[in-house]
Copies of this chain bind each other. A is one copy, B any other.
């Protein structure tokens, strides 16, 4: 998540450099006749690119809208994960004996699940950060699993069953805990849905095409046949505003890609880490994740 209001130039430049190159190329090609013959072969009325420009604005606005919704939905899901993780530990404390060792085991495993889910959504190593949270032998078992967070959830379910079979949990309390586990599973499923569903690409192609057409037509319009030293920057700046907004929307639409615009799952997991450890009376708490430069992961 980007947290600073001012973005580094380098970041902005990286986001738009490909489009910038294409636009410069277009302007160059369309303006070669101007340089050699002092006029275009043809002249397109200014209203054509103007109309295209408005159409592009409308379409970008739609895209920003839908991308924002995806991003906000991802954030809501992780908000629910925070709540349900805390609830799980609080319910365990309430329903079992105070000195039950399973509370700590499950609490630490819940922290591990959060880290692991965040990492695997981003395509990173899902075993990162798990040291000290899950015993060595369980870690070995998880190595053979494709979906590590799902494996951790399974271990949680097994522990619940164990508690119930040993009579440390009554039927009614088990139900409450199961419902919390179900909500956590559903949250994981929702994250996977967002991660695995490609935002309709046909739409994006149409939009890109429209912006390039906008640049071509605009560079061919008569009234813009000003000095070429004025025309080029005007064209470049205008199209870059469009491309930057489109790119900003594009970044929002995929919130688990290990990029600065991601939902800050590592930072949220750390918060859960601290909260849960406080709940079970640990005193050696980790520090909150620090922002990197202008963003937080």
Contact = CB atoms under 8 A, between A and B. Distances in A.
Interface of A: 1-7, 41-48, 50-62, 64-66, 68, 71, 75-76, 79, 82-83, 86-87, 90, 94, 150, 157, 161, 171-172, 182, 185-186, 189-190, 192-193, 197-198, 200-206, 209-210, 213, 217, 223-224, 226-227, 230, 234, 237-238, 241, 244-245, 248-249, 251-252, 261, 275
A51 B48 contact: no
B64 A65 contact: no
B223 A45 contact: yes
Q: Considering residues A6, A83, A182, A244, which has the most beta carbons from chain B within 10 angstroms of its beta carbon? A: A83
Contact of A5 (B6, B75, B171, B204): B204
Contact of A245 (B4, B53, B59): B59
Given A51-B50, A197-B75, A42 B227 contact: yes
Contacts of A249: 203
Q: Considering residues A71, A171, A248, which has the most beta carbons from chain B within 10 angstroms of its beta carbon? A: A248
